[in-house]
Amino acid sequence: MQALRIPPAGTPELAGRIRHKIDRKTKPLGALGMLEGLALRLGLIQGTDSPHIHAPHLLVFAGDHGVAAEGVSAYPQEVTWQMVMNYLAGGAAVNVFARPQGLSVDVVDAGVNHVFETHPRLLDRKIAMGTKNFAKEPAMTVAQCEAALAAGSRAVRSLSVLGSNLLAVGEMGIANTTSAAALMARFTGMAAEACIGRGTGVDDAGLVRKREVIRQALILHRGAATPIEALAALGGFEIAMMAGAMLGAAQERMIILVDGFIAGAALLAAQAIDPGVLAYCVFAHQSEEAGHVAMLKHFNAEPLLKLHLRLGEGSGAALALPLLRAACDFLNQMASFESAGVADQGAR
C-alpha cells in the first residue's frame, strides 16, 4: 500500500472562527454541550465553518477468522455469511437503523468463507476464504494485509467521487473480537486481560480459552515489528480493510464515524500506520465489550452515545448519525444574537 498523505484537519484560524460562530448563537455559552465540540470537529474536518453531511455511507466489512477453531466464539463460523445475506436482504439491525437516516449500507466481502452470488449491495473484495488461525501461524501474509488495506482505501475513494463526505464503518466476522482484543493489546501495550471480553457471549470456560489463545498469540507473534506486520499476524481481513478505508477516508477529508470495539481496533492499526487519521474520526458510542472504555481513553475520545450496545455491524454509528446532522444544523441554521436581535450576556 502506498504511503498516504493525510492532510491536517483545519487550522487554528478556522477553529477560532468556528468557536466564535458557536458562541454567538442564541444560547448561553456551552449550553449545547457535546454538540458544540462536535460541530467544531466537523467543521475542522471539512475545512469550513458551515459543515454539512452529504450522501453518508456505511460499509459493513465481513470476514472469517481461522482462530474461530479455538472455540473463542459462542456462534459457529457459518453465521458470518448468513448475516451477510441478512444485511443484503435489509433485515439486520443496522439496516433498520440506517434507513430512516438516509444512510446507504453496502457489505464488503473482505474474506468470508463462502461464495456469494452477485448482489448490487455486495462489494467482492475477497482476499481469501478467511484468515489462518493466528494461535498457530500469522493470520495472513504481509502481502495479503497490504492488499486488504489498499482495497479498503479504494472502496472509500469510489464513494468520495460520488459525493459522499461521511464514512461509517461496521463489521461482521465470527471470532473477530478475539482478533480485535489481540490487536488492542499489541498496539496500546496494555495487558491482554484488560482488552478481552465475552464478544458474542461466550461462557466462563470460553472466556478462559479466549484469554489463553490471545496470551499465547501475543508471545508467538512478538517479532511482528511494524504496524502492518502486527496487523497481518493478529488481524482479520475485514479489520485490515476497515483500517485501509479509514486511511483512505481521511485522505479524502471525509468524516469517519467509528462504531464500536472492533472498528476501534481497526483504527488502532490505521493510527499506527498514519497518526493523522485520528483527527477525522468521530466516535459513535461506548460499547459493552470489555476493553472499549480503555480503548476510548487511549484515543482520548468522548463517544456520543452510551446505550450498552454490543452488536457491532455499524449499529452504533447508524444511531449516532442524527447527532452529527444536529451539530451541522445548529451551526448553519440557528440564529445569532445579532441576527435575532437578542441581547446577550455581554450586552447587559
CATH of the domain at 30: 1.10.1610.10
With 0.85 as the threshold, say if the pTM is over it. yes
In a domain, 71, yes or no: yes
Three-state secondary-structure class, residue 148: helix
In a domain, 197, yes or no: yes
In a domain, 1, yes or no: no
Is the confidence at residue 156, as pLDDT, over 80? Answer: yes
Q: Please, which pLDDT band fits residue 199 given cuts at 50, 70 and 90?
A: confident
In a domain, 18, yes or no: yes
Residue 117 and residue 253 in one domain? yes
Residue 114 and residue 73 in one domain? yes
Give residue-wise pLDDT tens across range 184-196.
999 999 999 899 8
Over residues 332-348, mean pLDDT: 79
Residue 48 and residue 145 in one domain? no
Q: Report in angstroms the alpha-carbon separations of 298 from 52, 165, 178, 271.
A: 28, 26, 19, 11
Residue 134 and residue 281 in one domain? yes
Over residues 316-341, mean pLDDT: 94
Residue 87 lies in domain: 57-321
Give residue-wise pLDDT tens across range 75-133.
999 999 999 999 999 999 999 999 999 999 999 999 999 999 999 999 999 999 999 99
Residue 41 and residue 153 in one domain? no
Residue 160 and residue 196 in one domain? yes
Q: Please, which pLDDT band fits residue 1 given cuts at 50, 70 and 90?
A: very low
**Residues assigned a catalytic role:** 313
Residue 62 and residue 21 in one domain? no
CATH number for position 74: 3.40.50.10210
Residue 296 and residue 261 in one domain? yes
**Cα 112 from Cα 174, distance rounded (Å):** 10
Residue 122 and residue 262 in one domain? yes
CA 34 to the chain's CA centroid: 20
Give residue-wise pLDDT tens across range 281-295.
999 999 999 899 999
Residue 62 and residue 30 in one domain? no
Q: Report in angstroms the alpha-carbon separations of 102 from 81, 155, 333.
A: 25, 19, 20
Point out the least confidently predicted range of 89-103, 150-164, 197-211, 270-284: 197-211
Over residues 129-154, mean pLDDT: 98
**Cα 343 from Cα 127, distance rounded (Å):** 61
In a domain, 4, yes or no: no
* Residue 2 per-residue DSSP state: P
Is the confidence at residue 58, as pLDDT, over 70? Answer: yes
Residue 87 and residue 181 in one domain? yes
In a domain, 3, yes or no: no
Q: Is 204 exposed, middle or buried (0-12, 13-18, 19+ CB in 10 A)?
A: exposed
In a domain, 6, yes or no: no
Number of domains in the chain: 2
Amino acid at 191: A
Those residues whose C-beta lies under 8 Å from the C-beta of residue 348, and which sit 6 or more positions away, are none
**Cα 150 from Cα 161, distance rounded (Å):** 17
Q: What is the mean pLDDT of the chain?
A: 94
Residue 174 and residue 316 in one domain? yes
